[in-house]
Amino acid sequence: MTRTLTLTVNRQSHRIAVAPETNLLHVLRNDLALNGPKYGCGLGECGACTVLVDGLAARACVLPVAAVIGHEVTTLEGLATPDGLDPVQTAFIEKQAAQCGYCLNGMIMSVRALLNRDPHPSKESIRAALEHNLCRCGTHVEILEAAYRAAG
Closest by alpha carbon to 87, among 108, 114, 73, 106?
Answer: 108
Angular region, 31: left φ>0, alpha ψ -120 to 50, beta rest: alpha
What is the footprint of ligand FES within residues 61-120 (CB under 6 A)?
61
Is 7 buried (19+), middle (13-18) or exposed (0-12) by CB count in 10 A? buried
Residue 45 engages ligand FES in binding (rule: CB under 6 A): yes
* Stretch of 39-47, 74-82, 92-100, 107-115 contacting ligand FES, by CB under 6 A: 39-47
Of residues 16, 18, 32, 41, which one binds ligand FES by CB under 6 A?
41
Q: How far is the CB of 131 from ligand FES (least distance, A)?
A: 13
Of residues 39, 102, 127, 140, which one binds ligand FES by CB under 6 A?
39
Of residues 16, 32, 44, 101, which one binds ligand FES by CB under 6 A?
44
Q: Are 111 and 97 in contact (CB under 8 A)?
A: no
Q: Name the residue nearer to ligand FES (CB basis): 57 or 98.
A: 57
Helix (H, G, I), strand (E, B), or coil: what is residue 129? helix
Residue type, 80: A
- Give contact residues for ligand FES (rule: CB under 6 A): 39-42, 44-49, 59, 61
